[in-house]
Chain A
């Protein structure tokens, strides 16, 4: 096994020498357990290096490595000061101002669809002949946190609406029509 491993290492060494063009020592290895023989290639000359520059699709580029002159480059500009300020501007305005403030603004946008639905429910209930107490409970169901603040306002508006409604004489179709128009 040791001989096999040694043979393996020799093979790798000779192969590496052949590819890298290092003039290998003319070592010849013969196996003692088999008739295997490893010898350097008789071909003169080394294999050329792998192509690293001409495989590109648009080869007339001169890539400038921004990290070479400025190891702390952020990729915006060659000038380190401009590069730094550009990075700061992008992060400040892009993340801190627009994303943070903008998403806060969007998150706190009122849900108009919900409020429109609530209004439709309340108006329909009103024209159906709901009492001020039941109208009040509709609002308070959806605004429990505003109970103490708006209690009087809602009660008063329900009373006013119901007194106005009592003077109206509407059939079911008119009630539905008024509810739809109200929202």
Chain B
């Protein structure tokens, strides 16, 4: 694992020691090479996990998330180049350092063996994200957004720290590799119910669960493009990953404690999808879309069947790439029109036809068109939830329909129709932007050919 962590850490001195005109080239090159190295983790010969050391390991769940994390850094760098072009050199380097630091913490979080180490790194990812949102966001609301983001996550995760220390006292170890063999059921008592809540709430806030999701639209909208990309693509998946790990030791409470959260998620996915239909702000629409998709992941994780776990893992990877791509597309609009309002930049297909093709592909993957991995994830989740309770098919079906509605609404509003009179002087698409979209879409399409690597450890 050091072959990924040390080069990532070394991206920071690379940034500070590079010449002015080479910082973006150097960092993009080496971050792409780091993502190439991380692909070796997909070779999982053992039924159990790849154990690199006492501190780091990877298994079929964490490996795809790790590859997604390392793949996203060069994409974030490419997306940020334009809006940082007028910043002083020191601030550009600081921005890249924040992204690199976040990347390092994320890699270590996904590969940590010890739960306390996982917790510390989980919290550590908040710091660079907060700095990115509050320092480089565009509007004054970014400060409020940063506060919501920080305090929602902190309030959810402080009970987790107490719970982990309690479990450490109980079991003697918090190592993932040992806990999966700890077959002792938690006794049924009030304190264990609170223990379950304490363990799960941090990840529920992070996902986010509907009801605890208010930080997400603010943070996603006010963050600069790299902040939005990493929030949507990776940080939400930290919650899913944490839930998948921690539920192994919370049985049998999960079978009855999960009901209120399942109801909230099932209802929340309908509500947030419906809210998307009423959004005027493009980034806000994509943010609420993320809440809706993550509600599916919460349902899958709480149902705890092999197929639901496969669906959750596939959906996390698929949504990571799709959501990040949608934010990049929204940013390409924003850089031209300096507005996030959808109707102010409509009819773009006439002016930017290639970008319209990317919009079409991103919208189609967002609505889980076959044979994309989005469909595979959603289908597995829908099937396993139907098996859990037949009635959920109504809500799942409604959610899929509304998802299709708002995805097409977003596509038609931004691309179709007559363009407005004030945007006929916008600049054509840059190679950078088209390359960025291609680097999002190509892995998504390639994974449709070989989805078994993202189906997790229950495949």
Chain A residues 56-110 with CB under 8 Å of chain B are 56-59, 61, 63-67, 73-79, 82, 85-87, 89-91, 93-95, 97-99, 101-103, 105-107, 109-110
Which of B138, B337, B428, B432 touches A76 (beta carbons < 8 Å)?
B432
Chain A's nearest CB lies how many Å from the CB of B66?
14
Query: Which stretch, B77-85, B150-158, B239-247, touches the partner chain A?
Result: B77-85
Collect the chain A residues with CB atoms within 8 Å of residue B351's CB: none
User: Which residues of chain B are within 8 angstroms of A167 by Cβ–Cβ distance?
Assistant: none
**Number of cross-chain contacts by CB at 8 Å:** 118
Q: Which residues of A contact B6 (CB under 8 A)?
A: none
Q: A97-B32, A116-B47 are in contact. Are A109 and B453 (CB under 8 A)?
A: yes
Do A93 and B42 touch (CB < 8 A)?
no
Return B85 CB to nearest CB of chain A, in Å. Answer: 7
Which chain A residue lies CB-closest to B75? A94
Distance of A147 from chain B, by nearest CB (Å): 25
Q: How far is the CB of A60 from chain B (nearest CB, A)?
A: 10
Tell me if A109 and B32 are in contact (CB < 8 A). Answer: no
Which residues of chain B are within 8 angstroms of A56 by Cβ–Cβ distance?
A: 337-339
Asked whether A113 is an interface residue with its Cβ less than 8 Å from the other chain, the reply is yes
Find chain A residues with CB under 8 A from B278 CB: none
For this complex, into which size category does the number of interface residues on chain B fall? 35 or more
- 9 nearest A-B residue pairs (beta carbon): A75-B430, A75-B432, A74-B431, A56-B338, A93-B32, A57-B339, A82-B21, A102-B39, A98-B36
Q: Looking at chain A, what size class is its interface with the partner chain? A: 35 or more
Most buried by B among A59, A77, A86, A113: A86
Cα distance A87–B71 in the bound complex, in angstroms:
17
Query: For the complex, is A177 an interface residue (Cβ under 8 Å from B)?
Result: no
Residue of A nearest to B78 (CB): A90
Write the nearest CB–CB distance from A95 to chain B, whole angstroms. 8
In the bound complex, what is the Cα–Cα distance between A95 and B337 (angstroms)? 30
A143 an interface residue at 8 Å Cβ cutoff?
A: no
Q: Could you list 8 examples of A-B contacts with CB < 8 Å? A: A52-B425, A63-B338, A76-B81, A82-B22, A85-B25, A86-B25, A102-B36, A110-B45
Find out whether the CB atom of B422 lies under 8 angstroms from the CB atom of A112. Answer: no
Question: Is B421 part of the contact surface with A, judged by Cβ < 8 Å?
Answer: yes
Q: List B34-67 residues whose CB lies under 8 Å from chain A.
A: 35-36, 39-40, 42-45, 47
Task: Pick the contact of B422: A52, A67, A87 (CB < 8 A).
Answer: A52
A window 101-134: CB within 8 A of B:
101-103, 105-107, 109-113, 116
> What are the residues of chain A within 8 A of B33 when measuring CB–CB?
93, 97-98
Which chain B residues border A98 with CB–CB below 8 Å? 32-33, 35-36, 39, 71
A50 at the interface (CB under 8 A from B): yes
- Across the interface, which residues of B come within 8 angstroms of A95, CB to CB? 438-439, 442
A55 close to B (CB within 8 Å): yes
B44 is contacted by which of A63, A75, A102, A112 (Cβ under 8 Å)?
Answer: A112
Min CB distance A90 to B, Å, is 5
Is B453's CB under 8 angstroms from A106's CB? yes
Residues in chain B near residue A99, CB distance under 8 A = 439, 442-443, 446
**Chain B residues, Cβ within 8 Å of A57:** 139, 338-341
Question: Inside 8 A of B340's CB, which chain A residues have their CB?
Answer: 57
Given A61-B338, A66-B430, A109-B453, residue A77 in contact with residue B32 (CB < 8 A): no
With A105-B39, A107-B450, A113-B459 known, 19 other A-B pairs at CB within 8 A are: A52-B425, A55-B344, A57-B340, A58-B139, A77-B85, A79-B21, A86-B432, A89-B28, A89-B29, A94-B74, A98-B33, A98-B71, A99-B439, A99-B442, A101-B36, A102-B35, A103-B446, A106-B446, A109-B453
Assess the B21–A112 pair: CB atoms within 8 A: no
Instruction: Let me know if A58 and B25 touch, CB within 8 A.
Output: no
| In the complex, chain A residues whose CB is within 8 Å of the CB of B44 | 112
Question: Which of chain A's residues 14-71 have a Cβ closer than 8 Å to chain B?
Answer: 50-52, 55-59, 61, 63-67
Contact A67 B29 (CB under 8 A): no
Would you call A65 and B427 a contact (CB within 8 A)? yes
- Cβ-based interface call for B167 (8 A): no
Query: Nearest CB to that of B340 among chain A residues?
Result: A57
Q: Is the Cβ of A73 less than 8 Å from the Cβ of B439?
A: no
B307 to chain A, nearest CB (A): 15
Given that A57-B341, A109-B43 are known contacts, is A73 also in contact with B28, CB under 8 Å in the complex?
no
Interface positions, chain B 419-454, Cβ under 8 Å from A, are 421-422, 425, 427-428, 430-433, 435, 438-439, 442-443, 446, 450, 452-453
Question: Does A77 lie within 8 Å of B29, measured CB to CB?
Answer: no
Closest chain B residue to A102, Cβ basis:
B39
Once the chains are docked, how many angstroms separate the CA of A82 from the CA of B24? 10
Q: Which residues of B contact A66 (CB under 8 A)?
A: 427, 430
- B360 shortest CB reach to chain A, Å: 21
User: Which residues from B are CB-within-8-Å of A116?
Assistant: 47
Which of B28, B427, B428, B443 meets A90, CB within 8 Å?
B28
Query: In the bound complex, how far is the Cα of B427 from the Cα of A73, in angstroms?
Result: 11
> Within the assembled complex, what's the spacing in Å between the Cα atoms of A156 and B8?
50
Residues of B within 8 A of A86 (CB): 24-25, 28, 432
Bound complex: CA A76 to CA B28 (Å): 12
Interface string of B13-36 (1 = CB under 8 A from A): 000000001101100110011011
B residues near A51, Cβ cutoff 8 Å? 422
Complex Cα distance, B5 from A150, in Å, reads 42
Partner of B39, one of A89, A94, A106: A106
Pair A75/B431 contact, Cβ less than 8 Å: yes
Q: Tell me which residues across on chain A come within 8 A of B425, comparing CB atoms.
A: 52
User: How far is it, in angstroms, between the C-alpha of A106 and the C-alpha of B82 when the chains are bound?
Assistant: 33
